[in-house]
Amino acid sequence: MCGIIGIASNKLVASNIIQSLKKLEYRGYDSAGIATIVNGEINEKKCAGRVENLEKMLFKNPSNGSLGIGHVRWATHGIPSKVNAHPHSSDEVSVVHNGIIENSNELKKDLEKKGYKFKSQTDTEVITNLLTDFLKDFDLVDAINKTLKTLNGSFALGIIFKKFNNIVVGARRGSPLAVGYGPEENYLGSDSYALKSMTNKITYLDDGDVCVLTNNKIDFYNSKNKKINKEILILSDDKNIAEKGEYKDFMSKEINEQNVTAKTCIKEYLDQLRKNINIYNFPINPKDIQKIVLIGCGTAYHSCITAKYWFEELTNIPIEIDIASEFRYRKIKLNKKNLYVFVSQSGETADTFAALDLCKKNKVKTCSIVNVVESSIARSSDFVLPIHAGPEIGVASTKAFIGQMLVLYILAIKISEVRKEISQSDYEKKINDLKKLPDLIKKTLNYCQDNTPIIAKDFLKAKGAMFLGRGLSFPIALEGALKLKELSYLHAEGYPAGEMKHGPLALIEEGLPVVILAPKDRYFEKTISNMQEVIARGGKVILITNESNNIISENIRFTLEIPKIDDYLTPFLMTVPLQLLAYNVASLKNCDIDKPRNLAKSVTVE
């Protein structure tokens, strides 16, 4: 959940480290730090809070040196503070770490018996002292290997040394780590986004890999300490794709890019000429699939719930959905005739990767739906379907959710067609309907931009909110509640509307905002009936529908009408007003839109 950067250069590196840390703040932002080698000594500076605080500190007291490491933190061990911020340094080494060391308590006790003192509450300081201890008796390579073998858990590490003052060492197990190549300098980073302003030549470490960087050389070693070669990837040179441009924050930009996300994704997967979907080379013949299991976390899990409805409607395949953090610990009956689909924006979500790893060890067929095709989940899967959303910087996912749902829907249609469970005419109609989606998302965006700021005011004094929907609208209600929680810190719950009378109705009281999702589908009349139950108990109803003419009730507080579209595609349009509502509530409360408290974008710890 943290971001790390390392640079080995022949010029001062502090400024580039700071700029890279700013790009990595989506991974963590409760504290920040930097360590460089200056006059043969480790020079460490760190602080609580954002990278801008560290930048101000360095402006007053510069950190020189042509080799260094930096870190932005999302707390797992110890409260956000200067002492718990990374790097963690001894007289000999300085370490930045993303991940969790699961045996840190036992290691700490052993090290304390040897006389080592611990200043912080973190698990990372164990790595610092452990490596320092091994360096007393072993050379650099053996000390690193012994340290890594002693650690249990997940980590991506950046390490610099007092004695070996021209190298940066990187190591990876479980957490992502990229290496960049530059002229007379080389780089280490949690992802390519942090390195992209300095280089477009990137290599990704695999689990167990170690790299040693100098300003003009990079050596790679695998888990058996054997020297290896790594493939160099060339990144695109679009410099504007991850900038805010005219927008106040990344989230508003990313919400407004969703029609482009949909257009790009559809263009990638649809053969316009042949009216077909370009998905081939399945890891398992769709006709032989006995079950599909959809696995994700958070917003990605909500896309899986939505897809369950599509797959069940379009195919005869039994569908299961699972939260990744639960999947790997249950006694799952894995089957080689099942397809296991893993959904993740970053492709580095630790729980999802662990669930995928369990499937790989059991040799079952896997497919990943990700936004980052170079990610760990993508590279470990039998089959990869990119969502083509482009970089998503805001911590609360918006355009990636649209992309995930879109790829899952396209996959459901294609599997149905291959299995001959959909007629050719219906197949072609669904492809034609998909082509209309980007423009309708844009239309919905334009309409809701003007209306949601007014509605948002009703949430400011509320102590909570409720989101209700049936069928395909139910998972969108869950996502709407999650967005409001993530951005505004207001308690919110999503429920199937028919479940109200079985308990949640007790929460309805005078003035409680209740968002009702009621498109004109087969659930419409039932949902409107559930809405009346809310109104009768004093709930303040915000209705989102595509059929307002057939609803007669003077007690609806606000109505948002989205365009009509095929029922299967309605979730895409329903999503937009909920995102904008959460955004505007958070804006009115002066919350940090792009970096909500306690959250990080890429969840790389369990």
Distance from C-alpha of 124 to C-alpha of 98, rounded to nearest angstrom: 9
Distance from C-alpha of 235 to C-alpha of 204, rounded to nearest angstrom: 12
Distance from C-alpha of 335 to C-alpha of 302, rounded to nearest angstrom: 24
Distance from C-alpha of 257 to C-alpha of 445, rounded to nearest angstrom: 10
Distance from C-alpha of 343 to C-alpha of 403, rounded to nearest angstrom: 11
If you write DSSP's letter for every residue of 493-532 in order, what string do you get?
Answer: EEEEGGGGGGTGGGG--TT-EEEEE--SSTTHHHHHHHHH
Does residue 2 have an active-site annotation? yes
563 preceded by cis ω (within 30°)? no
Q: Which of 2, 47, 265, 359 is catalytic?
A: 2
Side-chain-side CA neighbours of residue 101 (13 Å): 25
420 class by beta-carbon count within 10 Å (0-12 exposed, 13-18 middle, 19+ buried):
exposed
Please report the beta strands in 167-281, taking only residues with DSSP state E, as ranges in sequence order. 168-173, 178-182, 185-189, 201-204, 210-214, 217-221, 227-228, 233-234, 270-271, 276-277
Distance from C-alpha of 158 to C-alpha of 290, rounded to nearest angstrom: 44
Does residue 265 have an active-site annotation? no
Distance from C-alpha of 246 to C-alpha of 222, rounded to nearest angstrom: 45
CB atoms within 10 A of CB 418: 18
Distance from C-alpha of 346 to C-alpha of 102, rounded to nearest angstrom: 23
The SS3 assignment for 148 reads: helix
Q: Please tell me the chain's helix, strand, coil percentages from 3-state DSSP, rounded to the nearest 5.
A: 40, 25, 35
Q: Which residue(s) pair with 214 in the sheet?
A: 217
Helix (H) or strand (E) run with residue 18 in it: helix 14-23
Q: Are strands 41-48 and 31-38 parallel, antiparallel or unpaired?
A: antiparallel
The SS3 assignment for 239 reads: coil
Distance from C-alpha of 581 to C-alpha of 558, rounded to nearest angstrom: 12
CA-nearest of 543, 546, 544 to 565 is 546
- Please say whether the beta carbons of 483 and 494 come within 8 A: no
CB atoms within 10 A of CB 506: 9
Question: 289 is written with which tokens?
Answer: 């699939």
Q: Which residue(s) pair with 457 in the sheet?
A: none
- Please say whether the beta carbons of 268 and 388 come within 8 A: yes
- Please say whether the beta carbons of 268 and 403 come within 8 A: no
Question: Which residues are marked as active site?
Answer: 2, 601
